[in-house]
Amino acid sequence: MGEDSKINTSPPHIVDSGASYVSLPFYEIPVKSTIADKLLEFAMSAGTWNKYHSFDAIQVPFDLAFGDPILYMLGMQHKLAVGILRLNPYTTYDWHVDGRRGVCINMLLNDVKSHCLFEVGHDEATHQFVELKYNPKSYYIFNNQVPHMVTNFAQSRYLMSVEFVEGTHELTFDQLIKEIK
């Protein structure tokens, strides 16, 4: 993807890489969170964190999570868990594809310098990527089956993540987008 690449921000998100068009592996849900501030307060006051895929993690109580209309609606349609993941300063979570998770919903809770990148092409030694630049209090449907990585800088990074019990074959990125729309 060259410097002339353009991103069309109206759904479906498309990257014009000059030679081809690539659907973006994330989708911003056009309804803001009503609990983002409460989630960050909960994370900042949490005592014990558990290890979860190299992140520090805590589970969000259902009464807090389902106080938000989007999460409540999703909870009525799917078995899910809502957690907060903490990535320590100066840490990279390397390129990967999630094993069981086909799709999740993420929301960055604090304004820190970090980069969430999705691969849109690669060769032997290089990766072409697109960055998910989180907007405040915004939920993103996140395609876990596209290679992605996170680099975090000087402060701890707090991310709310909704994990669905359905695996890669039961609930896909495209299915969840259609359901949300």
Q: Would you give the DSSP letter of residue 45?
A: H
Span 92-118, average pLDDT: 94
Query: What is the three-class DSSP state of 172?
Result: coil
Q: Are 68 and 31 in contact (CB under 8 A)?
A: no
Answering whether pTM is above 0.85, one says: yes
**Cα–Cα distance measured from residue 112 to residue 110, given in angstroms and rounded to the nearest whole number:** 6
* Span 6-15, pLDDT tens digits: 444 434 454 5
Q: Are 149 and 96 in contact (CB under 8 A)?
A: yes
* Span 54-82, pLDDT tens digits: 889 999 999 999 999 999 999 999 999 99
60 Rama class: left (phi>0) / alpha (psi -120 to 50) / beta: beta
Domain ranges of the chain: 26-180
Q: What is the CATH number of domain 26-180?
A: 2.60.120.620
